[in-house]
Amino acid sequence: MNYTIFDTPVVNTLARRFSLFMLKLTGWKFEGKMPDIPKFIMIAAPHTSNWDLLYTLFFAFALNVKIYWMGKDAIFRRPFGGVCKWLGGIIIDRSKSNSVVDTMIEALRKNEKLILAVSPSGTRSKVAYWKTGFYHIANGANVPVVLSFLDYRRRAGGIGPVVYPTGDIEEDMKIIREFYSGITGKYPEKAIGTAAVRVKNSK
List, for residues 134-179, the tens digit of each pLDDT value. Answer: 999 999 999 999 999 999 999 999 999 999 999 999 899 989 989 9
* Domain that includes residue 91, residue range: 5-27+36-199
Cβ contact 199:185 at 8 Å: no
7 phi, psi to nearest 5 deg: -95, 0
Q: What is the average pLDDT value for the chain, to the nearest integer? A: 88
Provide the pLDDT for residue 99: 84
Question: Could you give the CA distance from residue 82 to residue 110 in angstroms, rounded to a whole number?
Answer: 24
Indicate the residue type of 111.
Answer: N
The sign of the dihedral angle between the CA atoms of 162, 168, 169, 171 is: negative
What is the separation of C-alpha 87 from the centre of its chain, rounded to a whole number of angstroms? 13
Structural domains counted in the chain: 1
Cβ contact 1:68 at 8 Å: yes
Provide the pLDDT for residue 125: 54
Helix (H) or strand (E) holding 36: none
- Residues above pLDDT 90, as percent of the chain: 67
Provide the pLDDT for residue 73: 79
